[in-house]
Structure 1
């Protein structure tokens, strides 16, 4: 059986007096894609932010590769290969495509290795290679999302956290983004994918969790959840 790379056990998270996560329990196994589905305000982004070290769980444990990371610093997690692509892309709009990619490897001391990772991104995404000297803010929405994912890839993620990568994109571009995520996963990177576009997420995921008001309400193999009437009515229209 594939081992769990990330485990959340009975996690509670508060913002002041507001309880964002409630006894949240889930796991992500090595080299799989796990989709985290739910409506706005369900707790999806809070889950990623807590895993990334931006917020600390008030109760419960967050374990990655066998060690408790509940109190780990975000920059230490990035250095160790736990990397998040935030909602809204957040590229540096006045910097070039190439400069944005270079920043993805800011903790890499080996410049030759950094150049090699950037070349890999250009091979996966030839359009970014064509625009390497172009300012990030002048790219289309889809290209900016590809750049954000490419920047994370340069950091050599072992676990890639993606927050709503399809948001605001046309269906054809969503398909391209999902294909890129699958390609990265096929290369050995474990992926936790937060999405409102359940149809697109379940198409590439191995397993999925649905969270409502901060707790898991449903989970299972992605192929099975894609046929679930409740999922279809709530998230697929």
Structure 2
């Protein structure tokens, strides 16, 4: 479904990605692990067209999208939920969800997708008239994911969805991601909470200094001494 081949990204004199390659098959959740500054967010931004690569290519569903504009990539079903939630704080929950359908011409389809989000996330349905900025951190994260679902993703890029959330809320977010995947949406998950990510992922990649240094089935990575020591708290 997604193929990244030899991707390089520079920020001025900083070489952020160094020949990065990875793949995602249809129906997979793939976790992307690494320390701060390893290149995880840059990977998602390069895939979704928010930053330009200096070498390599990105292929989605057999078509190269390396130089496509972000809205064209989203139209193809590759939807990015960036770090930090970024809900529209002065708009209501419902208005935030409506904005997720800005690329969808069929208004009936938008309404159908919003109702599906409310079914998945009844807390948002209860707060549909409430301003986004007044929601809790966990509710804002749910709203950000819900807004992406209205766009109609076939591959969802999630950047640190558990950041700053209480453990109980993290579990709810991970359950939501697993449920979305079970309904057919593939997921590339960047997550500092490696324990939570590897519980729901099928496979994972570990990147350091912009390079992939380890990959494999999630179950194997959970048992790998290097991953345990670096990302799972040594337990």
Residues paired across the two proteins, number = 233
Match of 1:33 among 4, 29, 35: 29
SS in 2 for 1:71: coil
Distance 1:114 1:20 in 2: 37
2:199 maps to which residue? 203
Match of 2:12 in 1: 16
Distance in 1 between residues matched to 2:222 and 2:94, nearest whole Å? 38
Deviation at 1:49, TM superposition (A): 0.2
Q: Shift of the alpha carbon at 1:206? A: 0.3
- In the alignment, what sits opposite 1:44? 40
C-alpha RMSD of the superposition? 0.6
User: Aligned to 2:130, what secondary structure does the other structure show?
Assistant: coil
Note if 1:83 corresponds to 2:79. yes
Residue in structure 2 matched with residue 107 of structure 1 by the alignment = 103
Query: What TM-score comes out, normalization by structure 1 length?
Result: 0.97
Partner of 2:213, secondary structure, is: strand
Rounded Cα–Cα distance in structure 2 between residues aligned with 1:162 and 1:182: 12
Aligned pairs for 1:82-161 within 5 A: 82-161=78-157
Superposed CA deviations along residues 5-45 of structure 1, whole A, max 9, x for unmatched, are 00111111111111000010110111100000001000000
- CA offset digits 1:77-129 (Å, max 9, x no partner): 11111100000000000000000000000111111110000000000000000
Once the two structures are overlaid, the 10-residue window that deviates more, 185-194 or 226-235, is: 226-235
Long gaps (5+) in structure 1: none
Secondary structure of 1:226's aligned partner: helix
Aligned equivalents of 1:75 and 1:107: distance in 2? 8
Structure 2 alignment gaps of length 5 or more: none
The alpha carbon displacement at 1:136 in A equals 0.4
Whether 1:63 and 2:59 are equivalent positions in the alignment is yes
Q: Deviations over 1:51-98 (max 9, x none)?
A: 000112111111111111110010101111110000000000000000
Show the counterpart of 1:214. 210
Given the two structures, how large is their TM-score scaled by the length of structure 2? 0.98
* Match 2:222 to one of 222, 226, 234: 226
Q: How much has 1:230 moved relative to structure 2?
A: 1.3
Tell me the residue number matched to 2:2: 6
1:166 to 158, 162, 165: 162
2: CA distance, partners of 1:54 / 1:129: 31
**Aligned with 2:176 (options 175, 180, 184):** 180
